Structure 1
């Protein structure tokens, strides 16, 4: 346990579990963000604290390390999480400790000690819970694909009232005019985010400023995220469609509709115009 400046007890384990574990592991490999095992060996405490307190500001300053992380993870910027400087420092110290205990569990050579009596994994009271991503591992089913399609297209509302994906995005699975154009085309999102693990974390954490604004108070539920993941996976098996196909269809439909409308209007007004001409001609002769 660590104490904040306000003398309230701060538990970095609980904080990490609630705010970080969806995007980061400690020894389980990269997910939507980097693996944080041995992060104390890669960056110093001051840089870590400044970055987690305001990641976007550090990137805007042109920090080379922050820019490299952003590029490595597909341009995603870590969201700003409310915490104090003291709490950020506590998390850094805890990550150092947790990295060492995971190394002990795995029998890795130790250059640092956790303390007296920590020579082996048998001395640890319990195993670390952060060596694997905090994401579902259940098999995705055709039912998930069907539900994901309904959620994407707005045929079924998201549980917390968030807008349907189609409001802003399109995907190759859609026919006709496709979806919205305000956000990026999600056809290749599976590959861009590294498959199921990165995509599920992305849907559940709202890592972009736009998604935080839209879904901050209306988060996507875990099972809904899984269904959308299953639907996005289907997109990688579909035949890509040209980005202009929907616009071309729209133009063709518009031209055809305009022609039909002109034809109907001509039929309606044909007899009326003849009647007006007869009256004008009759008046002229009289």
Structure 2
């Protein structure tokens, strides 16, 4: 049995969100949320749902933790059933499923490595088998590896970063597309680094730039089919990816360089995905939203 994570109200949250975090580091990616201190805030109990996604079925990659988990919770509150694809973080995934089911929605977990194209087909097939349709695809999973110089980025790291962060987005989109009908939505997670770059995340930033351009190009390809494609470019958000990539010392000041002088929490990003998945954004495609703490980025 996993406890339902309870968070405090929005106003109180904003007062208590830390400007600095206790130093911590996890040795392997994509990281484990259940051992983070403090835990990321994934759910807002004061969220006012209005059935924006009632009866919809969503696939969320990397939905076991971090931003993906927060999106899954928000989608469930809006009435969607969820298929979560994740790599290996079983305990985080089980907790996310438990919370979604306690919200009254159905959830399936699909474990596997999306760097392999065949895994995308497995995710789609299992989702169709369970729910009978797919309305929303959220390509969200990713990795990042800190390196002080491009000279330190090995061919193996480059291959892993690109296969995880952009190849798999192609694979998932190709696998799901035959099942999407008019009115469906694809949402890709890019990053503020796609616009500003990052001296320690050269290969990661390059993949996120590719995701941004992929989103814009795909939107033009699918607009005639009535399928909208948009993206979200978060700034620094407190997720397992941070503690599994940055050093303990870097974690202490993570997000302090934003205009808001703090990192964001996953629940502060999730509503961007709800908006793009729902009919509220029916006149938007090829666009990117920027929940990033006030940083001015390119359009």
Name the TM-score class by shorter chain. Answer: under 0.3
Higher relative contact order, chain-length normalized (CA < 8 Å, sep 6+): 2
In terms of fraction of residues, the more helix-rich structure is: 1
In terms of fraction of residues, the more strand-rich structure is: 2
TM-score, normalised on structure 1? 0.24
TM-score, normalised on structure 2? 0.23
Radius of gyration: which is bigger? 1
